[in-house]
């Protein structure tokens, strides 16, 4: 092997370790290979369809969280916004007899309004996002229970499920939608001024403010987008299940943080990776699916999940150390 080749491979490796999503890519690839070798039916089209569909759902849930994490905040009301969106859509279609496409618009508008509500209190009164979204999660959840009375809405038209259940050449429709959303996220944060301003606000709010960025507006925007993505995830869930359940969103908080953190989004804000989302969303789906196929005792699923998150954070810490050292060299 020539010196040039060695330098080339070493250079590639150095470049790879500088990526914030490196640990997610490695962990997911390793798990994918392990499950493929360790189980007979992991790679069957039926199983891959289910795994990728679940991964797409995870990505949309996590995008709702990541958009506030990059500005240094968090959204504890993400699941409740999803639940409220589901109830608004279900109630509009089943009880009010509204056309499904109008109901979806109402659902998305609900997500946007909830996000605006959070963003207003966080940016206008400089309140901590933890406290504001904790309080709003109770408000939204109360509305979910109050409107629905705990009753699921099952009269969802069959056409509504085309997106969540359908496929093109065996690839779930939701995967195409996920890819589109991730490309938009990549382009927005890589090339648009607005995206850079959002990242700058999360990286160092004071420095961003001094450089002329209206950080309050960025916080408002990030929270509004968070609400929007929560409502998109809710629409996809209805489409996948064919019913609108008020219990939707109850388990989103852990998924949203896990995918966000494993995907390389720093909890202190300022960084995001579309590729990281793809791999970490897939990782979560793989974990649940693969453990069952391997016959591992799923009583301990949460333990495995916690270990993987901790491992990802540790690998990220190591990676950051190595990348910093190589830069210094």
Q: How far apart are CA 258 and CA 145, in angstroms?
A: 27
Q: Does 240 bind other proteins (CB under 8 A)?
A: yes
Q: Does 285 bind other proteins (CB under 8 A)?
A: yes
Q: Which is nearer to other proteins, 174 or 208 (CB)?
A: 174
Q: Does 128 bind other proteins (CB under 8 A)?
A: no
Applying CB under 8 A, among 46, 97, 125, 193 the residue interacting with other proteins is 46
Applying CB under 8 A, among 188, 241, 320, 322 the residue interacting with other proteins is 241
Applying the rule CB under 8 A, the residues between 293 and 312 that interact with other proteins are 293, 298-299, 301-302
Work out the burial of residue 66: count CB atoms within 10 Å of its CB; fewer than 13 is exposed, 13-18 middle, 19 or more buried.
Answer: buried
Q: Convert residues 48-67 into a mask of x (bound to other proteins by CB under 8 A) and - (unbound).
A: --x---x--x----------
Q: Which is nearer to other proteins, 137 or 215 (CB)?
A: 137
Work out the burial of residue 37: count CB atoms within 10 Å of its CB; fewer than 13 is exposed, 13-18 middle, 19 or more buried.
Answer: exposed
Which residues are CB-contacts of 166 (< 8 A; sequence separation ≥ 6)? 172, 173
Rounded (5°) CA angle 129-137-273: 55
Q: Which residue has the tokens 């949460």?
A: 302
Q: Which residue has the tokens 């998924």?
A: 255
Q: Does 251 bind other proteins (CB under 8 A)?
A: yes
Q: How far is the CB of 283 from other proteins (least distance, A)?
A: 14
Applying CB under 8 A, among 100, 116, 250, 315 the residue interacting with other proteins is 250
CA atoms within 13 A on the CB side of 75: 41
The answer to whether the CB of 59 falls within 8 A of the CB of 277 is yes
Count of residues binding other proteins (CB under 8 A)?
A: 37
Q: Which is nearer to other proteins, 148 or 273 (CB)?
A: 148
Q: Which is nearer to other proteins, 123 or 289 (CB)?
A: 289
Q: Which is nearer to other proteins, 57 or 75 (CB)?
A: 57
Applying CB under 8 A, among 149, 169, 191, 212 the residue interacting with other proteins is 149
Q: How far apart are CA 280 and CA 263, in angstroms?
A: 5
3-state secondary structure of 81: helix
Q: Which is nearer to other proteins, 55 or 323 (CB)?
A: 55
φ/ψ of 292, rounded to 5, equals -70, -45
Which residues are CB-contacts of 109 (< 8 A; sequence separation ≥ 6)? none
Which residues are CB-contacts of 97 (< 8 A; sequence separation ≥ 6)? none
Q: Which residue has the tokens 């009269």?
A: 155
Q: Does 160 bind other proteins (CB under 8 A)?
A: no
Q: Does 197 bind other proteins (CB under 8 A)?
A: no
Applying the rule CB under 8 A, the residues between 3 and 42 that interact with other proteins are 39-42
Applying the rule CB under 8 A, the residues between 102 and 121 that interact with other proteins are none
Q: Which is nearer to other proteins, 58 or 133 (CB)?
A: 58
The residue among 61, 110, 49, 46 whose CA lies nearest residue 237 is 61
Q: Binding residues for other proteins, per CB under 8 A?
A: 39-42, 44, 46-47, 50, 54, 57, 145, 149-150, 152-154, 161, 165, 240-243, 245-247, 250-251, 285, 288-290, 292-293, 298-299, 301-302
């Amino acid at each position: 092997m020539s010196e040039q080749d060695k330098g080339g491979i070493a250079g590639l490796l150095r470049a790879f370790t500088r990526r914030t999503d490196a640990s997610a890519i490695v962990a997911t690839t390793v798990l994918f290979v392990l499950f493929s070798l360790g189980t007979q039916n992991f790679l069957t089209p039926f199983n891959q369809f289910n795994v990728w569909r679940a991964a797409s759902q995870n990505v949309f849930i996590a995008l709702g969280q990541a958009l506030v994490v990059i500005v240094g905040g968090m959204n504890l009301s993400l699941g409740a916004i999803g639940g409220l969106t589901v109830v608004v859509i279900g109630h509009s279609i089943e009880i009010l007899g509204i056309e499904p496409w109008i109901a979806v618009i109402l659902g998305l508008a609900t997500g946007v309004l909830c996000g605006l509500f959070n963003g207003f209190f966080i940016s206008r009164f400089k309140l901590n996002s933890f406290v504001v979204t904790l309080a709003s999660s109770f408000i939204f959840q109360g509305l979910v229970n109050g409107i629905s009375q705990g009753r699921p809405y099952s009269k969802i038209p069959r056409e509504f499920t085309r997106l969540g259940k359908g496929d093109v050449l065996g690839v779930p429709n939701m995967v195409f939608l996920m890819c589109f959303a991730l490309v938009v996220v990549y382009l927005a944060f890589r090339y648009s001024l607005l995206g850079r301003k959002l990242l700058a606000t999360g990286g160092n709010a004071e420095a961003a403010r001094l450089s002329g960025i209206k950080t309050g507006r960025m916080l408002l925007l990030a929270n509004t987008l968070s609400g929007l993505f929560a409502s998109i995830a809710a629409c996809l869930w209805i489409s996948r299940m064919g019913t609108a359940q008020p219990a939707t969103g109850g388990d989103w908080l852990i998924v949203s943080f896990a995918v966000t953190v494993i995907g390389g989004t720093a909890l202190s804000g300022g960084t995001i990776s579309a590729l990281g989302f793809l791999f970490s969303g897939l990782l979560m789906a793989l974990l649940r699916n693969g453990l069952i196929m391997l016959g591992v005792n799923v009583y301990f699923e949460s333990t495995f999940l916690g270990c993987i998150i901790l491992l990802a954070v540790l690998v990220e810490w190591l990676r950051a150390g190595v990348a910093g050292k190589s830069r210094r060299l």
